[in-house]
Amino acid sequence: MPAPGAAGDTFRQGLRERHRGSHHTLPGSDVHMESFPLPRPRERAMPPAVHIPRRRVRLRGDPEEEEGARIGEPEKATRSDILTSFTKLRDETGNPHSDKFLRDICVNFILAGRDTSSVALAWFFWLLSQHQEVEDRILKELREIVAEREGEGEGELVFKPEEVKKMEYLHAALREALRLYPSVPLDHKEVVEDDVFPDGTVVKKGAKVLYALYAMGRLESIWGKDCRDYKPERWFRNGRLESESAYKFPAFNGGPRLCLGRDFAYYQMKFVAASILHRYRVEVVADHPVEPKIALTLYMKHGLLVTLRRRDEA
């Protein structure tokens, strides 16, 4: 029997996180968007949270790829990682992007995409541990997808992109987890021009507008009486997975600054969740405290401690 522990390298941190209690906090009243001026960034003397060495790193695309292009070996010239793609682009003056630009792009993708997806998975696995019926439906969906493989044994089963696309119920289950536990629980925007909200609230240039995604996901006025329930079915209409307005469900932001990694994040989370659930029962260790940590990202304060049991072992 495996010892309680985390699953997988990529999502180890998220899966190590744990949670106490099963109730969802409901905001006492509607959340009002309030605008008020906050100190401008230069007025705040905050130390940088992450130190990235500026001088020593020299970013280059994949050398094999560059060599492949040079000597005409296309199989080596087909790499499409983010860094390699950006090294091929030119800036508005027609020059290659600077090392600083390339570094910032890579760090941005790492910071924006890693913890957001891993905490979402941690909350998802915890919610599943409280909702056996949801896990059963996900497993049924996975079994049906695997059964469609023609003449292929399961072997070392690796889900294919077209199979991941078919995982609609799993998609809804992840979206529902993000509704109750949005990876970014609180966000803000700065007003660039004086404006008036539809409800008549006046917002002045330079003010910051904060909105609480965590509270929005639990408001009866938005989601109805069952707003506190974990119910992936709410995302289906007439048996089809429906999209929802990004302004009602802003877990990935909305408008022109919509999360660039949204589709990739869903793909990645579905692939990881399906690969784990197909093979293992994920049992949250009894009596471990589970509660959110108030931070820019909605971490679990104490992590999620789980025991993995192979499904093919009794």
Residue ranges that bind ligand HEM, judged by CB under 6 A:
108-109, 112-113, 116-117, 120, 183-184, 187, 251-253, 257, 259-261, 264-265
Q: How far is the CB of 169 from ligand HEM (least distance, A)?
A: 18
The residue among 14 and 303 lying less far from ligand HEM, judged by its C-beta, is 14
Residue type, 306: V
Which residue lies nearest ligand HEM, judged by its C-beta? 261
Identify which of residues 13 and 116 has a Cβ nearer to ligand HEM in the complex: 116
Pick the closer one to ligand HEM by CB: 125 or 252. Answer: 252
* Amino acid found at 200: G
Q: How far is the CB of 59 from ligand HEM (least distance, A)?
A: 17
How buried is 72 (Cβ within 10 angstroms: 0-12 exposed, 13-18 middle, 19+ buried)?
Answer: exposed
**Closest CB to ligand HEM among residues 76, 79:** 79
Whole-number minimum distance, CB 212 to ligand HEM, in Å? Answer: 12
Q: Residue 128 or 265: which CB sits closer to ligand HEM?
A: 265
Distance from chain centroid for Cα 212: 17
Nearer to ligand HEM, 146 or 222 (CB): 222
Q: Smallest gap, in angstroms, from Cβ of residue 31 to ligand HEM?
A: 17
Please identify, using beta-carbon distances, which residue of 57 and 107 lies nearer to ligand HEM: 107
Q: How far is the CB of 252 from ligand HEM (least distance, A)?
A: 5
At its nearest, how many Å lie between ligand HEM and the CB of residue 208?
12
d(CA 263, CA 96): 28
CB of 175 to ligand HEM, least distance (A): 10
Q: Of 102 and 288, which has the nearer Cβ to ligand HEM? A: 102
Please tell me the distance from the alpha carbon of residue 243 to that of residue 169, in angstroms, as a whole number: 13
Smallest distance from ligand HEM to CB 115, Å: 9
